[in-house]
Amino acid sequence: MRLRSLETRLALLLALAALMGALVYIGVMQWPLPAILGWLHNELTHSVRAPNRTEAIIICVAILAPLSWWFAHIVMEPVKRLLRALEGAVASYRDGDFSISIALNRRDELGDLVRVHNELGQTLREQRQNLAQRELLLDTVVQNTPVALVLTDANGRVAYANIAARHLFNEGRSLNGLHFAQLIANMPAALRKATEGSEDALFSVEMDGSEETFHLSQRAFRLQGRPHRLQLFRRMTRELSRQEVAAWKRVIRVVSHELNNSLAPISSLAHSGAELARRGDVQRLPGVFATIGERARHLHGFIDGYARFAKLPAPRLVAVAWKPFLDALSLHCSFQLTGSVPSQPGWFDPVQIEQVLINLVKNAHESGSAPEGVTLLLSMVGHELRIEVGDRGPGMSEAVLAQALLPFYSTKRSGTGLGLALAREISEAHGGRIALANREDGGLRVTLLLPQPTAAA
């Protein structure tokens, strides 16, 4: 136990108070008050008696009461000063001021409390400084990013906007406090329509005499308990241009490769046919011409596939009965139908979806799967038609899965890279989507999801 702890000091003060009380009581009952009263009795003409026990207690209380108050004042005054200092420090912390420290040198529990308080203040000051530095760094990064950032509150007024947003929407002037909907009221309709929705969007607008493409990313969240909306406008024109150039380069490489593969043997065969004709060996000429014709037909089919992809018409949605649709599909490719067919008809373009399924089933057979492992599953999931084509081949690696739906990407030596890309184009034109995934028990699953009318669902 500390010799200078509050508990030790209080014990000593109580012992001193008890001793003083005993001394006062003895002084009143034994000495010196009885002796003084006896002397007065002998010297004065009237009698003076010693106090009895009750009177002695009253006299002791009258003496000890102010003395106790004085001791209490001595003991509690430092504690009261410390409590006032702590109250002021806590009030400063509440107001965000962490620069307050208490100067008090004590070697007891109050001193420990003061030291812990000062350490807390130092920690809060350091954290506040680090937070301010991080906020400054974050604000510098956000302000100088080329992505236009606009944060609006529940009333649609701009709470924060970076430099790119100010230049995009208000000629470099501040946007804070302005109503964002009124700010873009005179801007292109494509931009207004994109901001009215709640989903991410890609749109193009006419700016400075040229077309600019933007990607809009939107998120809603609560900031300090209040709803806010964050909108990020990213210029995509340069990126799309680079992607377009890269796509054209891939097209040129694929087309050049296919043309060389067809034109080189055609040229060679034409030279051989001319030589045979010069020699008069006409019996071998039909074979030469047949090979030339076969290579020409292959080249025509290759070019026609690219033309169909580039000129894909808008889908004509109609109600499709399943039995005649599946019977017609089975004439072009073989598959195993699993599960039951939906009771209600489908709602899609039968010609385009048939072409997609022919390509998917053909890919499933070319994967190395056994013929009975190529399956077709039809089901309704909510208001969507789910079409699954599965196989028992080796599946795809993660790298191939990530690029398989891109145009002109193919892992086949003679592939054009248009089959899955065409399936994606057709599904998205229907308002749906396509997904590829490896099956847990081996093989690949290609899933087509097509929205269906509520009445059909």
pLDDT score for 319: 93
Q: Which domains does the chain have, with CATH numbers?
A: 6-121 (no CATH), 145-235 (3.30.450.20), 240-310 (1.10.287), 318-451 (3.30.565.10)
Tokens of 54: 């009750």
pLDDT score for 397: 82
Residue 457: band (very low, low, confident or very high) from pLDDT cuts 50, 70, 90: very low
Most confident of 10-24, 29-43, 172-186, 254-268: 172-186
pLDDT in tens, 381-404: 888 999 999 999 888 888 777 777
pLDDT in tens, 89-133: 888 888 777 777 777 777 777 777 888 888 888 888 888 888 888
pLDDT in tens, 34-89: 666 555 555 555 555 556 667 667 767 777 777 778 777 777 777 788 788 888 88
Residue 157: band (very low, low, confident or very high) from pLDDT cuts 50, 70, 90: very high
For 213, counting Cβ atoms within 10 Å of its Cβ (0-12 exposed, 13-18 middle, 19+ buried), the class is: middle
225: region left, alpha or beta (phi > 0 left; psi from -120 to 50 alpha): left
447 three-class SS: strand
**Residues near 190 by beta carbon (within 8 Å), at least 6 away in sequence:** 203, 204, 205
**Contact by Cβ (8 Å): 158, 176:** yes
Tokens of 210: 């040229």
pLDDT in tens, 172-190: 899 999 999 998 888 888 8
96 three-class SS: coil
Least confident of 147-156, 180-189, 274-283: 274-283
Return the exposure string of 429-455: e unless at least 16 CB atoms fall within 10 Å of the residue's CB, then b: ebebebebeeeeeebbbbbbbbbbeee
pLDDT score for 256: 72
What gap in Å lies between CA 16 and CA 447, rounded to an integer? 91
What gap in Å lies between CA 407 and CA 444, rounded to an integer? 19
- The DSSP bridge pattern shows strands 375-381 and 336-338 to be parallel
What do you get for the CA distance between the two ends of the chain, in Å? 81
pLDDT score for 4: 60
Q: What does the DSSP assignment read for 380-429?
A: EETTEEEEEEE--S----HHHHHHTTSTT--SSTT--S-HHHHHHHHHHH
pLDDT score for 224: 83
Kindly give the residue spans of alpha helices, DSSP state H, lying in 145-234: 163-170, 180-183, 189-196
What does DSSP assign to residue 5? Answer: S
**Contact by Cβ (8 Å): 354, 329:** yes
What gap in Å lies between CA 411 and CA 363, rounded to an integer? 12
pLDDT score for 25: 67
Least confident of 208-217, 380-389, 423-432: 208-217
**Residues near 308 by beta carbon (within 8 Å), at least 6 away in sequence:** 422
How much is the average pLDDT of 299-318?
73
pLDDT score for 415: 58
What gap in Å lies between CA 46 and CA 424, rounded to an integer? 127
Torsion of the alpha carbons at 174, 178, 179 and 184, rounded to the nearest 10: -30
**Residues near 59 by beta carbon (within 8 Å), at least 6 away in sequence:** 28, 33, 51
**Contact by Cβ (8 Å): 293, 285:** no
pLDDT score for 33: 58
In total, the chain counts a number of residues equal to 457
Place of tokens 């995934």: 437
What gap in Å lies between CA 234 and CA 195, rounded to an integer? 13
CA nearest neighbour of 150 among 170, 133, 134: 170
- Answer yes or no: is pLDDT of 31 > 90: no
pLDDT score for 1: 45
CA nearest neighbour of 257 among 408, 423, 422, 420: 408
CA nearest neighbour of 390 among 327, 442, 319: 442
In one-letter notation, the amino acid at residue 92 is S
214 or 405, greater pLDDT: 214
For 63, counting Cβ atoms within 10 Å of its Cβ (0-12 exposed, 13-18 middle, 19+ buried), the class is: middle
Angle in degrees, CA 74, 79, 83, rounded to 5: 145
Lay out the sheet containing 444-451: strands in order across. 336-338, 375-381, 384-390, 444-451, 433-438
